Amino acid sequence: MVGKNLAPVIIKRKKVIASGGHHGGAWKVAYADFVTAMMAFFMLMWLLNATTEKQRKGLADYFHPTIAVSRISGGVTVCCLVIGCFQKRL
């Protein structure tokens, strides 16, 4: 027996809106690496333009290793000398 005074059933559905949330910060690290590399590149370009040949030679000598380095690999010793030549001893 269905009565005449019954109200219709109303179903409310809640819409779930997915917000952006946390997408991670890997892009920030990649962007920071890129910006750092660009800064280093432009500083290099500026230094090449702002210095004389003698100053560039002095700067290159500053970063050139001045001690002999001996590396042993597979029975072959390679000595890197200050003058820049390589000698191999078997």
The enclosing H or E element of 47 equals helix 26-50
pLDDT recorded at residue 85: 46
pLDDT recorded at residue 28: 92
What would the pLDDT profile of 28-64 be if each residue is shown by its tens digit? 999 999 999 999 999 999 999 999 999 999 988 888 8
For residues 69 and 86, the answer to whether their CB atoms sit within 8 Å is no
pLDDT recorded at residue 63: 86
Query: Nearest Cα to 68, choosing from 81, 86, 83, 84?
Result: 81
Full-model pTM: 0.43
What tokens appear for 7 in the block? 């109200």
What tokens appear for 43 in the block? 């500083």
All residues at 6 or more sequence positions from 86 whose CB lies less than 8 Å from its CB, including other chains: 78, 79, 80
What angle (nearest 5°) sits at the alpha carbon of residue 37, between those of residues 33 and 43?
145
